[in-house]
Chain A
Amino acid sequence: MVLIFGGAYQGKKDFVLAQFGLKKDDICVCSPENAPDFTKKCLANAENFVWYCLNRGVDEMNYFRCNSALFEDKIFIFRDIFCGVVPLSKEERAWREATGRVMQYLAGKADRVSRIFCGLEQRLK
């Protein structure tokens, strides 16, 4: 498993396409409304999948722990949503915290963890 994260507009998807020789069609861009397509190699905007879980009352940590086999070969892309002011809305606070917990869990499991900064890779694991 690979975990890629970074701020908005830093070139995370382009990095994954180039680095892992993927095509755009290999990437599923997660949405808050629909379940992702787990047949795809890469799940981008995975923070939206966490929102999807919370919205349906799914315990996100439990979900990722129970389904770890499903994710062994995946590349996750998360947007760094963690450095702003604490959000005013309760839902957004819960989402930010849940996303952070999931990222820490996945980073622990991943073979490779990288932060993307202005299109450049900063390898953290």
Chain B
Amino acid sequence: MKILIAGGSKSGKSDYAQTLALTLAGPGRRFYVATMIPFDAEDQARIASHRARRAGLGFETVEEPRHLLRCLENGPGAYLIDSVTALLTNALFPQEKDYRFSPKEGERCLSELLAFARQTEDGVFVMDLIFSDSCRYPAETEHFRRLLGAAGRRLAALCDTVLEASAGRIFIHKGALPK
């Protein structure tokens, strides 16, 4: 079963996604796909807090901020991708290119994400919502929003269940929760 969960900052989407991944895994393996490439101490702290919240839950951490399909070499299990936003950010503004805007790499990343979603049996995809304001962003930021929007729509079409998180509660847009 595949699940997309989207929400704003601190909406509880990551915590809920962990619970979903545990349910999907049952007694089987569960993989936490770590997607963030830390930029500074603030990012390090965020990573530490995410680690602490999943400690003792039996997740195997897979560091794969670039090539999602490589994760599948770990074999069957429930994959938690937290987050789609970070994956696309890493691709579109690559650290090794001094964060220079790389639209082709962004497209490649989206294709790989969708290929991964098609190939994996059990997966939970976490995504941010950055689409509901009146700002006029620079072209590169707008490109990022468009790419993340496309990722959301296409994952939603592929996934069995689509959820929106806010204030730690969830709304079901499609399908049902795993039993």
Give bound CA distance, A118 to B125, whole Å: 13
Q: Are A118 and B162 in contact (CB under 8 A)?
A: yes
Q: Are A84 and B6 in contact (CB under 8 A)?
A: no
In the bound complex, residues from chain A placing their C-beta under 8 Å from that of B153 are 9-11, 118-119
A9, A81, A122: the one contacting B150 at CB < 8 Å is: A9
Interface assignment of A92: CB less than 8 Å from any CB of chain B: yes
B132, B135, B164: the one contacting A87 at CB < 8 Å is: B135
Q: A7-B129, A9-B146, A9-B153 are in contact. Are A120 and B173 (CB under 8 A)?
A: yes
Chain A residues near B (Cβ < 8 Å): 6-11, 80-85, 87, 92, 95-96, 117-120, 122
Interface assignment of B131: CB less than 8 Å from any CB of chain A: yes
Residue of A nearest to B157 (CB): A119
Give bound CA distance, A42 to B145, whole Å: 25
A8, A96, A120, A122: the one contacting B131 at CB < 8 Å is: A8
Interface assignment of B80: CB less than 8 Å from any CB of chain A: no
Binding site secondary structure of chain B: mixed
In the bound complex, residues from chain A placing their C-beta under 8 Å from that of B152 are 9-10, 118-119
Q: Are B131 and A80 in contact (CB under 8 A)?
A: yes
Give bound CA distance, A56 to B155, whole Å: 42
Q: Which of A85, A87, A117 has the most CB of B within 10 A?
A: A117
Q: A9-B149, A9-B153 are in contact. Are A122 and B134 (CB under 8 A)?
A: no
Residue of B nearest to A82 (CB): B132
In the bound complex, residues from chain A placing their C-beta under 8 Å from that of B6 are 117-118
A80, A92, A120, A122: the one contacting B132 at CB < 8 Å is: A80
- Encoded as 1 (CB less than 8 Å from any A CB) or 0, chain B from 129 to 156 comes to 1011111000000000110111011011
Q: Are B149 and A10 in contact (CB under 8 A)?
A: yes
Give bound CA distance, A107 to B156, whole Å: 26
Q: Are A10 and B131 in contact (CB under 8 A)?
A: yes
Interface assignment of B20: CB less than 8 Å from any CB of chain A: no
In the bound complex, residues from chain A placing their C-beta under 8 Å from that of B173 are 117-118, 120, 122
Q: How far, in Å, is A93 (CB) from chain B's closest CB?
A: 9
Q: Are A118 and B4 in contact (CB under 8 A)?
A: yes
Interface assignment of B174: CB less than 8 Å from any CB of chain A: yes
Q: A9-B145, A9-B149, A9-B150 are in contact. Are A119 and B156 (CB under 8 A)?
A: yes
Q: Are A96 and B149 in contact (CB under 8 A)?
A: no
